[in-house]
A and B are shown apart, each in its own frame.
Chain A
Amino acid sequence: MSESRPEIKKKTKKQPISDRRRFILNMARGAGIATIGGFLWSAHLDEVTASELVLRPPAALKEDDFLKTCIKCGLCVEACPYDTLLLAKPGDNKPLGTPYFVPRDVPCYMCPDIPCVPVCPTGALDVASVTTNDKLDINISDMGVAVVDDESCIAFWGIQCDACYRACPLFGTAITIEYQQNERTGKHAFMKPIVHADACTGCGMCEHACVTEKPAIFILPRETATGKAGSYYIKGWDKSDEKRLEDATEIETVTELSKESATDSLNGSLEDLY
């Protein structure tokens, strides 16, 4: 019986693992796990720092630079006498621990001495950006820009309301009233609030004062609220803008169609257009 038993393959005896092999394998294992963790971590960071609709304290650096420079200490929050500024908590859906404000709740009251800015230990709130002639100047700060929704603004309906205009700390500069005849009634005027983005600091006093249920004028970060015409449009009626043409050079665009003259190309078969 025992002799007919099929021969069991002898296991090759395992060598004890060498120290060098153990070290290399351990390092490889560490590097592998670090890669997994690193990607998960990076993906999370990408998500949590992507929030664009955050209003920052005055004098904040551009969002990208702000996120790497702010140490999240909250000294600006403590310096604010109106409790305008908040630090983002888990659950606020804002980059964690960074200062922000919600103007509908508490706007920035634009203190002339700007207590929140000089206390910043890292320069994420940049004193130089709110300084003119060696003096702090809150009026040049840029927290965002007010935007009017003319569908829900009752002044655009013809009802007299100038709450935002009156609330604006840059009275008559950042918001002006445009008068227009109300043809529906024939005897009244529209008094429409118009925001001037170049003067508006984004303090949010208008949003705070707005009488509609959900504010018809509200602050957005400037990047979000503004478009860009591009450098190829030049205001011919603006002397300073037209100066840009002085150094202009001609740019010739060469494509497949440029091989022939324009007329030949147009008279030729249209195949090469498609």
Chain B
Amino acid sequence: MQKLWDNYRYLFLRRFTQISLLVLYFGANAWGWSLLMGNLSSSKILGVIPMSDPYAALQMLMAGAVLAGDLLIGVVVVTLFYLLIGGRAFCSWVCPINMITDAANFLRRKLEIDRIQGVKQPASRNIRYWVLGLSLIISFIMGVTAFEFISPISMVHRGIVFGLGFGWAAMLIIFLFDLFVLKNGWCGHICPLGGFYSLLGKFSLIKVHHSEENCTLCMKCKDVCPEKQVLHMIGKESLPVLSGECSNCARCIEVCDDDALRFSIRELALQRKTGE
């Protein structure tokens, strides 16, 4: 039991966060709870504190909308949290798509699909930044929020809270895409919201830290990591994971049997390194 907890504690906490958020949002619409109303695009805590998706607001700005007071406060709240504290934590702790892509990735490992496709990834992880840029350009030209009209994230989340319609098709497409077409395809390559939070969260405080002296080079962390490239220092150097593409999912920490990975406050880790 202890071992189960050790190996899955963060995964458990993440699923707990993701599902409780869904339940709270769902309860607000279905039973009139007021703890968390709205959805991931924009919500209110207890009807007072607004929270808004900064990427959606950016598209609105590009589309030529006038941004109202409540929205701006909400954007500041969310931006500050991820910018200063959470990093790209939205992707692995909040986003409902994460459960779908994690399931696809899990099945992919179990079925050993990588062995028929080879190790080499056929697509660049920078596609998301192109999609991000493109969404802003299209928002500007078409005068609508480009990604918000196709986003499977809000489609699924809205679907769970307000009624799904054909939204299940979007879920299935992402699942099959990640399972059969491209490993970590949606979250790790295409999703512009992930790209946005990668840029926003680059300088956040919470980072995973690697201690090279403990590492036995088992590479379990790299196996399980959805953004492998951020773990380039494994077994080479004691460094924090500085790339914004790390979503702080902490799977690497819990699969490590040698205590070579842990969460740390970024600044402290840096200071200690320079002090040595």
In the bound complex, how far is the Cα of B40 from the Cα of A75, in angstroms?
A: 11
Contact in complex: A46, B142 (CB < 8 Å): yes
Whether B167 sits at the interface, judged by CB under 8 Å, is: yes
- Say whether A72 contacts B158, CB under 8 Å: yes
A interface bracket (residues with beta carbon within 8 Å of B): 35 or more
In the bound complex, residues from chain A placing their C-beta under 8 Å from that of B67 are 122
Chain B nearest CB, measured from A265 CB (Å): 47
Q: With the chains together, A90 CA to B150 CA distance in Å?
A: 10
Would you call A158 an interface residue if the criterion is a C-beta within 8 Å of the partner chain's C-beta atoms? no
A41–B29 CA distance with the chains assembled, in angstroms? 31
Question: Does B144 lie at the interface of the complex (its beta carbon under 8 Å from any beta carbon of A)?
Answer: yes
Q: Decide if A87 touches B38 in the complex (CB within 8 Å).
A: no
Taking a contact as CB atoms under 8 Å apart, the answer to whether B148 and A72 are in contact is: yes
Chain B's nearest CB lies how many Å from the CB of A43?
10
A74 and B162 CA atoms in complex are apart in Å by: 8
Query: When A46-B142, A74-B29 are in contact, do A123 and B68 touch as well, CB less than 8 Å?
Result: yes
Q: Is A71 in contact with B56, judged by CB distance below 8 angstroms? A: yes
B38-65 toward A: CB 8 Å interface, digit per residue (1/0)?
A: 1101111000001011001100100111
Closest Cβ neighbor of B159 among chain A residues: A89
For residue B74, give the distance in angstroms from its CB to the closest CB of chain A.
6
Per-residue B-contact encoding for A4-46, CB less than 8 Å = 1, 0 else:
0000000000000000000000000010011001100110111
Contact A45 B144, beta carbon cutoff 8 Å: yes
Over the window 244-268 of chain A, the binary record of Cβ atoms lying under 8 Å from chain B Cβ atoms (1 yes, 0 no) is: 0000000000000000000000000
Residues in B neighbouring A44, C-beta threshold 8 A: 149-150
Contacts of A67 in B (CB 8 A): 143-145
Contacts of B66 in A (CB 8 A): 69, 123
Residues of A within 8 A of B (CB): 30, 33-34, 37-38, 41-42, 44-46, 48-49, 64-65, 67-69, 71-75, 77-78, 86-87, 89-92, 95-97, 119, 121-123
> Could you pull out 12 A-B pairs where Cβ atoms are within 8 angstroms?
A34-B134, A42-B141, A44-B149, A45-B144, A45-B149, A67-B144, A71-B41, A75-B44, A87-B158, A89-B159, A89-B167, A121-B74
Binding site for A on B (CB under 8 A): 28-29, 32, 37-39, 41-44, 50, 52-53, 56-57, 60, 63-68, 70-71, 74, 130-131, 133-134, 137-138, 141-146, 148-150, 154-155, 158-159, 161-167, 169-170
